[in-house]
Amino acid sequence: MDIIDSLDMYKQYLLVEKGLSNNTWKSYLNDLKGFFTHFPSIKETKDLYEDNLPQYISYCLNQNYTSSSVLRISSSIKSYLLFLKNSGYFNYEIPEISLPKKPERLPVCLSKNEIDLLLSAPDIDSPSGLRDKAMLEVMYSSGLRVSELLSLTLDRISFEKKVINVFGKGSKERKVPISEFSLEFVQQYMQKVRNKNPGKNSKILFLNKKGDQISRIYFYKQIEKYAEYVGIRKKISPHTLRHSFATHLLDGGAQLRAVQEMLGHENIQTTQIYTHVSKAKLINTYDLFMNKK
């Protein structure tokens, strides 16, 4: 089979069967583009051999690719080769190769005081400020991903049950609680701002002035603006609210499995990073206390 045809089949597999987001499947195919650029003689699937992957990973390491990049590239190519193998177009074993360990980078987390400052930053007397206030409250109180927040539709919020029905990665559904305090601001936004918006008939909850869905870049810039306004010097993003949500839950005694379910993590190891954040905070507090003596 021609490589281009195989990539088209693989793309359909990622979209339909795996249900991956656009950003994820594009990342997979971009990694494969680099792989086939390195091996220009591979025109058909029959030209693929089991030693191609280790050769390419060795090349990436020699080019000083980061550990994270090498791990992602290896995963992308292995997934493609496994797809070909299961489809009868690759007759070799998927090679096991030695890979660098992924560096453990603790996510940036705001203290509860910093969260309070950030959430109080929007001017709720202005239409955009009240909308941003509602968005920040919802994101922090429910631990949503930014994509989940921006695509949130009206029918997914139960004001009575205080629950959001979230469709996360891979279109997987989960129910997460939302605070009554957050819901009050959502209702204020809907009554005072959204009902007057050109897109008031849209299913999307949070809209820009034109009535369209708010972009990631705009929301990112808004959070940066609010952080600067209240004097938060950390480099933060919308995802920082999700990190802070998880860390504060664990600090408060929540069970790891419960936090995993609320965040929508498939693997509990992904959630465990927040236990490290909590420990790091404890060590920092101890060091500060001891240094004052």
**Which residues are identified as catalytic?**
145, 169, 239, 242, 265, 274
CB atoms within 10 A of CB 199: 15
Q: How far apart are CA 179 and CA 142, in angstroms?
A: 8
Q: Judge contact between 54 and 97, C-beta under 8 A.
A: yes
Instruction: In whole angstroms, give the CA distance from residue 169 to residue 183.
Output: 24
Phi, psi of 90 (to 5 degrees): -140, 115
* Residue 107 Rama label (left phi>0; alpha psi -120 to 50; beta): beta
Taking the C-alpha atoms of residue 47 and residue 131, their distance in angstroms, rounded to an integer, is: 55
Question: Could you tell me where the DSSP H helices lie in 87-237?
Answer: 112-119, 127-142, 146-150, 180-192, 216-229
